[in-house]
Amino acid sequence: MKVARLAYGLLLFVWIALAHSNASAQTYEVMQERNGLINAFARLKAGQPLRVLFLGGATSSDVVSTDAANTWPAKTVSWLKRQYPRAVISVTGVNCSGSGAYGAAMLWPIVSACQPDLVFVDLADQDGEAVSQHSGEWVNSATEGLIRQIRTSNAAAEMCFIYGLRKEMLPAYKQGLLPGCIFQHDVAAAHYRICSVNAGASAAEQINTGKLTWAEFAGDAGSLTAAAHALYADTLTAFLAEQALHVGRGVIPYRMVSRLSAAAISSVRVQLPEGALSQGWSRVAEAPVAGATSVTLHAAAGAAAIKISFEGTFASPVIVTGKGLQSIEVKIDEGAWVRIVVPASGAASTGLWSATAGTGLKLGAHSLEIRPVGTSSLILAGVATAGVSEP
């Protein structure tokens, strides 16, 4: 027993060390079952309600529009409904394009209003730039923070990590390796025994062997084609079909395991300023996410800056996108104004986007000022703040 524990500890040490590098250091499998989706299928088999959340970019979150029927999330939900016609399946999609794992971790207090039982997390391929700009440890800490927040809000909730594909990942897959940003997410998924489906690897295999061209997969604009959506859906539903074969049992909560990193962004607070607002701002009773019972702040073009006081080492304004917003300016404490451009994909459809405004701040009191730029209006869902070492 002691030898087994020592071997596991050594393996975990090596795994974490690799996670803190930016290298593609791990061979891949298209499907990793781990703890699987036993609770989700227990609900489905019993005909109970199942609340499904797709958390990712514009494509993976679009499950309700008239154009969504042929997307891989919509195809996946249709498959579930065909297999379990008695179950009541409700679906929510949250678009956090350009935010990656850090943005999703900072958004979770708002997103948790959906109260999901099953979360499909499609963020890993967005984090390639974050690995380059920050570090693998940064991405891994954000991913772990998101996982811990989901488990804290609903211990019986399950997650399935979906790994997408970008063109720059093809060489790594050709060598049989995981791209760095995918690897960081999978380190956290493995530690918490969360299942993953690498639909991007499945696509890369076809592209690298000449069965599919990049243009047939993503087209000139880089968005997924109908063939790509079908391939993703086929890969995911094949995994779900295997999960359905497990012997059913009741829904049971998962036990929270120890942390991988003390820096995991696992306790986030989203707040709005109290009292009188700056010129050009107004409070609107509008939920930023379905199910949320909160207000948002609307700023007209040219509105004065608004200031929010907070304590913590991270701060990010949470913006409602898809309303014509192109950029904002932010200022931490007495620092200079910094312009932040809203990602084009984030502005393509309504969603939430968390701008990286202040990171690595000293513990203590701080302030964040925000203002719209030029002719853009602004809808603010709140300011997300967090410390580094948290419970």
Q: What CATH architecture is 19-243?
A: 3-Layer(aba) Sandwich (3.40)
Please tell me the pTM assigned to this model: 0.87
**What's the pLDDT tens digit per position in 193-237?**
999 999 999 999 999 999 999 999 997 667 889 999 999 999 999
Q: Which pLDDT band, with edges at 50, 70 and 90, does 14 fall under?
A: very low
Per-residue confidence (pLDDT) for residue 238, from 0 to 100? 98
CATH of 268-386, one of 3.40.720.10, 3.40.50.10440, 2.60.120.260, 3.30.930.10: 2.60.120.260
Percent of the chain with pLDDT over 90: 47
Which sequence spans correspond to the domains of the chain? 19-243, 268-386
* Residue for token pair 């949320």: 292
Nearest one of 134, 198, 132, 190 to 165, comparing CA atoms: 198
Q: Is the predicted pLDDT of residue 277 greater than 80, yes or no?
A: yes
Per-residue confidence (pLDDT) for residue 247, from 0 to 100? 73
Q: Is the predicted pLDDT of residue 323 greater than 70, yes or no?
A: no
Q: What number of other Cβ atoms are within 10 A of residue 296's Cβ? A: 21
Query: In angstroms, rounded to a whole number, what is the distance separating the alpha carbons of residues 230 and 69?
Result: 11
Q: How much is the average pLDDT of 101-127?
A: 90
**What's the pLDDT tens digit per position in 257-274?**
999 988 888 889 888 888
Q: What number of other Cβ atoms are within 10 A of residue 243's Cβ? A: 17
Q: Which pLDDT band, with edges at 50, 70 and 90, does 327 fall under?
A: confident
Instruction: Please list, in sequence order, all residues whose beta carbon lies within 8 angstroms of the beta carbon of residue 8, skipping any fewer than 6 positions away.
Output: none
Q: Are 82 and 74 in contact (CB under 8 A)?
A: no
Per-residue confidence (pLDDT) for residue 37, from 0 to 100? 97
Per-residue confidence (pLDDT) for residue 13, from 0 to 100? 42
Q: Are 137 and 261 in contact (CB under 8 A)?
A: yes
Query: In angstroms, rounded to a whole number, what is the distance separating the alpha carbons of residues 372 and 105?
Result: 24
Per-residue confidence (pLDDT) for residue 141, from 0 to 100? 86
Instruction: Please list, in sequence order, all residues whose beta carbon lies within 8 angstroms of the beta carbon of residue 78, skipping any fewer than 6 positions away.
Output: none
Per-residue confidence (pLDDT) for residue 322, from 0 to 100? 66
- Element holding 381 (H helix, E strand): strand 378-386
| Minimum mean pLDDT range among 6-20, 49-63, 103-117, 277-291 | 6-20
Q: How much is the average pLDDT of 311-328?
A: 79
Per-residue confidence (pLDDT) for residue 133, from 0 to 100? 62
Q: Are 315 and 325 in contact (CB under 8 A)?
A: no
Angle at 137 between CA 134 and CA 140, to 5 degrees: 110
Instruction: Please list, in sequence order, all residues whose beta carbon lies within 8 angstroms of the beta carbon of residue 282, skipping any fewer than 6 positions away.
Output: 297, 298
Q: What is the mean pLDDT of the chain?
A: 84
Torsion of CA 348, 97, 73, 125, to 10 degrees: 130
Percent of the chain with pLDDT over 70: 83
| Minimum mean pLDDT range among 16-30, 72-86, 313-327, 333-347 | 16-30
